A and B are shown apart, each in its own frame.
Chain A
Amino acid sequence: MSLTPQLVLFEEDHTKILAVSKRLVSDANAKAVFLVDKNGQMVAEAGELVGIDTTSLASLVAGNIAATGGLAKIIGENEFPVHFHQGERDNVHITLVAQRIILVVVFDDRSSLGLVRLRVKKAGQKLAELFEDLFKKAEAELSDEGPGSPFAEITDDDIDNLFSD
């Protein structure tokens, strides 16, 4: 297994990704859309987010994808790229984008699985392009000069200050 490079998200990329996510919320009549890194980090969120603990959501979604990915390998599949969880009121549709990003759509009976699937397909392609770009950029950034990470300059004091209670 290859090591996944560090994920770096810049403002301009985030704006583009967020625009696609918002569009997907309205096109699919969804309640909310989340983009989560496979390691459990929330990358973008759009829609009705009131009352949703998005940090927990990200970690559980990633755990879910990791577990089912492991399951897939056991039975000889590479991955299960599409997941659907049906609830009494709300449903969750999950797909993988660009191998590394999990696209989560939460929807209720204002929408339907068919519509969500259709819209996710289109948005997924767009998002895949954006993320492929972003990964390339992040790699170049880390290998070359670029503006550099804000952490290149941190001092021991900066770190100690974090822990001063």
Chain B
Amino acid sequence: MAFINYSAREINCKLVYYGPGLCGKTTNLKVIYEKTAEGAKGKMISLATETERTLFFDFLPLALGEIRGFKTRFHLYTVPGQVFYDASRKLILKGVDGVVFVADSQEERFEANLESLENLQQNLREQGLELSKIPWVLQYNKRDLPNAVSVEEMRKALNPTGEIPEFEAAAMSGKGVFETLKALAKLVLLELRKGSK
């Protein structure tokens, strides 16, 4: 849950990038880190294995600016995508304010996307949260690859009602990364407004 600090006049929100292994969660954070101005970002931390697979999480703090005199900070986390790191994924979801689900558009990862989304719902439920009740957005990543399945097919499987904001991306080249982040940040802030009325 967001942390409102009246003393420092700050609001801190926690955003989590979720998705199957190698879908590009860490790449999203790296791009955000590289393209964000020095003063607006903190250090990016990656707790990864020697082969650069996320072991626990990546962390990137962002300070976007002020709203009504309050500094608005977003703490971005990724989860480890590999199936056997489920215990770690649960921990990182604690206190989440919003989720980016990064789906891998490659045909051979179609099943993995579905499994990971199912896993996200399950892990949120264990915290007493419903995915449908929290801000979340979908990113169809790796659109630039030749074996990418059509957006329609992805939508049918992952966003059948079409209600979830979705973004096409090629995170390696930076495409779609900021659009995704902005959309989620906006939803989280709107949720805060709703929650405080």
Q: Which residue numbers of A lie inside 8 Å of B, CB to CB?
A: 1-11, 13-15, 37-41, 43, 53, 55-56, 59-60, 63, 66-67, 69-70, 142, 148-154, 158-163
Contact = CB atoms under 8 A, between A and B. Distances in A.
A40 B74 CA distance: 12
B95 A38 contact: yes
Contacts of A8: 3-4, 6
Nearest to B183: A163
A34 B68 CA distance: 28
A66 B94 contact: yes
Contact of A150 (B68, B88, B182): B68
A55 B8 CA distance: 14
Interface string B1-30: 111111110011010000000000000000
Interface string B89-126: 01110110000000000000000000000000000001
Given A6-B4, A39-B1, A163-B182, A154 B68 contact: yes
A150 to B, nearest CB: 5
Contacts of B94: 4, 38-39, 66
Contacts of A142: 195-196
Interface residues of B, number: 49
A43 to B, nearest CB: 8
B43 interface: yes
Contacts of A150: 4, 67-70
B42 A154 contact: no
Nearest to A44: B7
Given A152-B193, A159-B67, A161-B65, A41 B126 contact: no
Interface stretch (B56-64, B141-149, B151-159): B56-64
A40 B97 CA distance: 13
Contact of A1 (B67, B68, B127, B193): B127
Interface in B128-179: 128-129
Given A59-B59, A70-B91, A158 B68 contact: yes
B95 A39 contact: yes
Interface string B33-59: 000000000110101000000001101
A76 B183 CA distance: 41
B97 to A, nearest CB: 9
Contacts of B47: 63
Contacts of B92: 63, 66
Contacts of A5: 1
B59 A56 contact: yes
Nearest to B74: A162
7 contacts: A3-B1, A9-B7, A56-B43, A63-B57, A149-B195, A150-B4, A154-B192
Given A152-B197, A162-B185, A53 B91 contact: no
